Amino acid sequence: MAVGAGATVARAASEERGLSGYASDAALQAEINRLWLSHDVDLYQRVDMTVREQRVLLTGAVPDPQTRIDAVRLAWQAPGVRDVINEIKIDDTSTLVDETADAAIATKLETRLMFDRSIRAINYSVDVVNGTVYLMGVAQDQAELDRAIAYARDMRGVREVVPHVRLKGEAPPPGTRPDGAEPAANPYTAAPVL
């Protein structure tokens, strides 16, 4: 267990966001998971989340619009969230075969990124939903980002690639709220209205 914890710390420290950014993102993810679980176990099981630089990427497929709204609303309730990127699809037709194919695409893409010396794969997160690849993280430069996107596009079974990646040296995008206004510390703490 100590070796695993040490590897996690070493990995986190070598990412662009650093150890404190990793810890902050892990705490946000834990809080959002807690909120989802206390609200609806089905929501927790259907929606996937990636947190980087206090930006929350939500992916997955849910059966109805209300579940999608609830996932976003609850994510905003976690203190410190700067942005929620809603890529949740309303679709109740995904099968175990689809989920297996998505997992295979994600694993192959992560492996390709890892073995390409021109890409710092540690700075990327890969999520795949129904053949759509979502990339999130920090690219060293535009050439690296273009290379990562090209790998994703060239994979069998990929329908679309959606990058949520910033370039190193660029400030993280400012937080946004669902209504487009400038972010408040926590836009849904008072009376949530969607």
- What does DSSP say about strands 83-90 and 55-62: parallel, antiparallel, or unpaired? parallel
Nearest Cα neighbor of 74 from 45, 107, 40 is 40
Start-end of CATH 3.30.1340.30 domains in the chain: 2-90
Nearest Cα neighbor of 77 from 174, 177, 165 is 177
Q: Is the pTM of this model over 0.75?
A: no
Q: Which residues contact 99 (CB under 8 A, 6 or more apart)?
A: none
Q: How far apart are CA 175 and CA 30, in angstroms?
A: 20
User: What CATH code is assigned to 96-167?
Assistant: 3.30.1340
Q: Which residues contact 183 (CB under 8 A, 6 or more apart)?
A: 82, 83, 174, 175, 176, 177
Predicted local confidence at residue 181, as pLDDT: 41
Predicted local confidence at residue 151, as pLDDT: 97
Predicted local confidence at residue 12, as pLDDT: 58
User: What CATH code is assigned to 2-90?
Assistant: 3.30.1340.30
Predicted local confidence at residue 45, as pLDDT: 92
Which two tokens mark 166?
Answer: 């910033």
CB 78 within 8 A of CB 35: yes
Predicted local confidence at residue 124, as pLDDT: 94
Spell out the per-residue pLDDT of the chain, length 194, in tens. Answer: 554 555 555 555 567 778 888 999 999 999 999 999 999 999 999 999 999 999 999 999 898 889 999 999 999 999 999 999 999 988 867 777 888 999 999 999 999 999 999 999 999 999 999 899 999 999 999 999 999 999 999 999 999 999 999 999 887 766 554 444 444 443 333 333 33
Predicted local confidence at residue 47, as pLDDT: 94
